[in-house]
């Protein structure tokens, strides 16, 4: 197709999951009187919420920093009705004496974070995408080919349509096509699976969340609406298969045995899904006129619930850089801007990868050489609050970009 006939966009975003949708909405949230960016959002999956891979039945914990940013972008009001506040987090090691707590009032916060269901978030965000005139959604369409040229990027879709953009942003998940064009992905297999399920509670949840470390690995409970817990349970492959095949009563008995009764009795469970726990990340986030963020750039162990919050901090860093470049009439694919983004984000990403991977390794082991120091560490954090301040700041997303 002759280039003169290709539709041109200022920004093309591959992936309309939480990171991609958040970026598109942030970039289109400009003051009146300012020439709007033309934004293309390319999404491979049908927007069938509850089954879309980015907006399924899982719940995610938004940190206090993520909630604050969403409010700044006027995006929180659509998510708030579907949220459940976390006011208290209890961390413990099953069968041992180590434990610590985080409370919202310790940090002068109304809540440590909010839990939202991805299905609801997807429905609200895609409604907003459809309402923004400067956003064009190509869905369901896959990217077939990417060609980097001096002044633009050509993106060929699976319907033989092609578009051009000054900058292409990959927010297309852990198996990112854009990421593969940028560099070599680093991987570490934790040799564990995450089992995810929504569990009905017998008693009120009272804004509590739990991280319980078992012999197999961490077991997290996040409070949800309608008196439900979102369970994220790290187990080995054989146990994952067994837990998925149990009937409801047998599964609830296994969960109760592993967690105990601090959260009361579990009385019902919905669908159970499992996926392998693998750390995937790129050391370089950009190449000529292309950049990756969110899970496309780094896919973490779910311990401490940092994955989406880290991706949202990517978006919070990139959006103002693009808007400043746009307002100054500068090239949106300029190397200097992309390098600035790399420099701004690298320390936070490396710190978060190190923290989550270290916690996953330390708390997945039943070896005495790990049990003793982790319990001493938990007790020290409880006795000396200053010890947990850095962990709290990282978990709350209160670091600067």
CATH number at residue 30: 3.50.50.60
Q: How many domains does the chain have?
A: 1
Least confident of 212-216, 285-289, 389-393: 389-393
Least confident of 166-180, 244-258, 356-370: 356-370
Query: Cα 309 to chain center, whole Å?
Result: 5
Orientation angle between helical segments 335-363 and 307-327, nearest 10 degrees: 170
Say which range, 22-31, 116-125, 228-237, 366-375, has the weakest mean pLDDT.
366-375
This prediction's pTM: 0.90
Q: Does 150 map to a domain?
A: yes
Round to whole Å and give the CA distance between 351 and 366. Answer: 25
Helix (H) or strand (E) segment spanning residue 140: none
With respect to residue 401, please indicate whether it lies within any of the assigned structural domains: no
Give the model's confidence band at 388: pLDDT under 50 very low, under 70 low, under 90 confident, else very high: low
Letter string b/e over residues 82-104, b meaning 16 or more CB atoms within 10 A of that residue's CB: bbbbbbbbbbbbeeeebbbebeb
Using CA atoms, how far residue 152 sits from 77, 319, 377, in Å, is 36, 19, 52
Q: Which residue has the tokens 């961490």?
A: 218
pLDDT band at 56 (very low <50, low <70, confident <90, very high): low
Q: Name 360's Cβ contacts closer than 8 Å, sequence gap at least 6.
A: 190, 192, 217, 218, 234, 277, 301, 303
CA distances from 210 to 26, 80, 97, 267 (A): 32, 22, 16, 18
- pLDDT one-digit tens code per residue, 26-53: 999 877 667 899 999 999 988 665 454 5
Let me know if residue 26 belongs to a domain: yes
| Positions of E strands within 119-237 | 135-138, 143-148, 153-157, 162-170, 186-201, 208-213, 218-224, 228-235
Phi, psi (rounded to 5 degrees) for 125: -65, -40
Over residues 228-251, the mean pLDDT reads: 95
What count of Cα atoms within 13 Å lies in the side-chain half-sphere of residue 5? 4
Q: For the residues 185-202, what does the mean pLDDT come to?
A: 94
DSSP conformation class of 111: -
Q: Does any domain span residue 80? A: yes
- In angstroms, rounded to a whole number, what is the distance separating the alpha carbons of residues 399 and 379? 25
Question: Which pair of tokens denotes residue 47?
Answer: 């927007």
Look up the domain containing 370 and give its range.
Answer: 3-187+278-396
**Distance, CA of 383 to CA of 71 (rounded, Å):** 34
Crossing angle of the two packed helices 64-72 and 307-327, in degrees rounded to 10: 30
Among 225, 341, 249, CA closest to 286 = 341
- Ranking 31-35, 75-79, 99-103, 310-314 by mean pLDDT, the lowest is 31-35
- Asked if the model's pLDDT at residue 374 lies above 90, the reply is no
Report the DSSP beta bridge partners of residue 146: 155
DSSP symbols for 305-335: G-HHHHHHHHHHHHHHHHHHHHHTT--TT-H
Query: Cα dihedral sign for 244, 246, 248, 253?
Result: negative
Residue bearing the bigger pLDDT, 51 or 160: 160
State the Cα–Cα distance between residues 133 and 181, nearest whole angstrom: 30
Q: How far are the Cα atoms of 150, 151, 247, 281 from residue 166, in angstroms, in the given order?
A: 10, 7, 53, 25
What pLDDT is stored for residue 100 in this prediction?
79
Cα–Cα nearest to 44, from 176, 160, 156, 142: 142
Q: Given this model, what pLDDT does residue 122 score?
A: 87
**Average pLDDT of the chain, as a whole number:** 87
CA distance 347 to 317: 13
In a domain, residue 267? The reply is no
Residue given tokens 């995810």 in the structure block: 196
CB atoms within 10 A of CB 111: 18
Q: For residue 370, what are the CA distances in angstroms to 102, 193, 361?
A: 23, 21, 9
> Minimum mean pLDDT among 9-18, 43-52, 106-115, 334-343: which range?
43-52
């Amino acid at each position: 197709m002759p280039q003169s006939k290709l539709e041109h966009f200022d920004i093309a975003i591959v992936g309309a999951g939480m990171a991609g949708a958040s970026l598109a909405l942030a970039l289109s949230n400009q003051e009146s009187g300012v020439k709007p960016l033309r934004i293309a959002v390319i999404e491979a999956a049908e927007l069938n919420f509850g089954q879309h891979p980015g907006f399924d039945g899982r719940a995610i914990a938004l940190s206090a920093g993520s909630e604050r940013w969403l409010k700044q972008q006027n995006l929180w009001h659509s998510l708030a009705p579907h949220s459940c506040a976390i006011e208290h987090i209890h961390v413990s090691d099953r069968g041992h004496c180590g434990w610590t707590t985080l409370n919202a009032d310790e940090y002068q916060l109304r809540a440590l974070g909010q839990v939202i269901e991805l299905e609801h978030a997807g429905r609200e965000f895609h409604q907003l995408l459809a309402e923004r005139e400067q956003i064009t959604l190509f869905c369901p369409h896959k990217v077939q080919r990417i060609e980097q040229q001096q002044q633009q990027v050509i993106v060929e879709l699976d319907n033989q349509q092609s578009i051009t953009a000054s900058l292409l942003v990959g927010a297309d998940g852990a198996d990112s096509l854009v990421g593969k064009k940028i560099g070599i992905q680093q991987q570490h297999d934790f040799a564990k699976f995450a089992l995810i399920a929504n569990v009905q509670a017998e008693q009120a949840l009272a804004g509590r969340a739990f991280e319980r470390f078992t012999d197999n690995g961490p077991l997290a409970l996040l409070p949800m609406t309608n008196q439900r817990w979102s369970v994220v349970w790290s187990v080995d492959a054989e146990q994952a298969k067994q837990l998925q095949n149990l009937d409801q009563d047998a599964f609830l008995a296994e969960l109760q045995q592993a967690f105990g009764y601090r959260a009361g009795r579990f009385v019902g469970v919905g669908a159970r899904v499992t996926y392998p726990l693998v750390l995937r990340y790129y050391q370089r986030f950009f190449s000529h006129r292309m950049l990756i963020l969110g899970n496309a750039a780094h896919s973490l162990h779910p311990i401490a619930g940092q994955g989406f919050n880290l991706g949202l901090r990517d978006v919070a860093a990139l959006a103002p850089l693009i808007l400043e470049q746009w307002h100054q009439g500068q090239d949106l694919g300029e190397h200097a801007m992309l390098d600035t983004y790399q420099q701004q984000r690298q320390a936070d990403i490396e710190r978060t990868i190190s923290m989550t991977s270290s916690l996953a390794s330390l708390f997945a082991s039943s070896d005495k050489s790990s049990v003793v120091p982790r319990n001493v560490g938990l007790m020290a954090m409880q006795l000396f609050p200053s010890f947990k301040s850095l962990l709290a700041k990282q978990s709350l997303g209160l670091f600067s970009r």
